[in-house]
Amino acid sequence: MWDHDRKCVKVHSVSNATQPAALFPGQGSQTPEMRDVVARRAPELLEAVTELVGEDPFARVEEDTRFAQPAIFCASLAGWDAVDLRPSAAAGHSLGELAALVAAGALDRDDALRLVVLRGRLMGEARNGSMLALVGADLDTARVLAQAGGVTVANDNAPGQVVLSGALDALDKTEAEAAERNVRVIRLNVAGAFHSPLMEHAAEPFRAALEQIEVHAPKFPVFSCTTAAPFTDVREELAGAISRPVRWRETVIAMHEAGAPSFVEIGPGKVLTKMGKRIVKGVPFQSAEDLVNA
């Protein structure tokens, strides 16, 4: 096929085009009831994550990535355990990639949990900037603002939902530039310039940890949200995802064009479901809870 810039783009195929693709959420998807869900469906997972973090991460999920990422990951796995699904493909939004790879059998659950705990700690220690959400702006506008301010387009989540990332002074400059262009912005409550080159220092120890774990062939294709294509080098792509932009809009489109007829969000909240309905209109999206309660 051809994209809008008239460049040839490879179209991938899913494994079973009669089944929905599974989507696993990332940071910011936490819900008040997710601890109860994990305690009820996967108590051993709650015990393991509490031991690895050093305390119950659910109690402090709003404070820091150190707690939020392990808690959301565990809630996503508890959601996966509750559904009887052999998806056509899977993908995860940033953190959610690790849950997607566990679901596909590419990563062992215990290995992935240790990686998530490390990832949350490394990102929480960044303290090197922040992120700026552009309200209603398209990707072209985001790129212009990013270039003017010296920041990175970190998340292309959905039409009208783009996030920039960078150092605080650069974000101040970008915010002023956005005001001149009448673009509304929201400064996100994060202390790191996530998914930007400023996170490369956090990616290195994560890459070293990834070298110590075993990677298996997945049972179904898992799409990387940084390449919008199936994983080809799980270790390198997971490490690189910390400092590379999330191309979520493109990823969902690629999965649908590969043959995924519908999507199921597995994990806490319905963030990806809401975004998905804006990305590929008319395509069914539902949450795993909808399947469990059907």
Among candidate residues 29, 76, 88, 94, the one labeled active-site is 94
Burial of 35-71, coded b for 16+ CB within 10 Å and e otherwise, reads bebbeebbeebbebbbeebeeebbeebeebbbbbbbb
Active site residue 196: no
Active site residue 94: yes
Cβ-based burial of 179 (10 A; exposed 0-12, middle 13-18, buried ≥19): exposed
Among candidate residues 76, 88, 195, 243, the one labeled active-site is 195
Based on DSSP, count helices (H) and strands (E) in the chain, helices before strands. 12, 10
Count of C-beta atoms within a 10 Å radius of residue 169: 11
**Distance between CA 254 and CA 276 in Å, rounded?**
12
The CA-atom distances, in angstroms, between 196 and each of 139, 167, 242, 244, 277 are: 16, 10, 8, 6, 27
Give residues with Cβ within 8 angstroms of 285, minimum separation 6. Answer: 262, 263, 264, 265, 272, 273, 276, 277
**Distance between CA 18 and CA 88 in Å, rounded?**
7
Q: Which helix (H) or strand (E) holds 131?
A: strand 130-135
- Catalytic residues, by residue number, are 94, 195
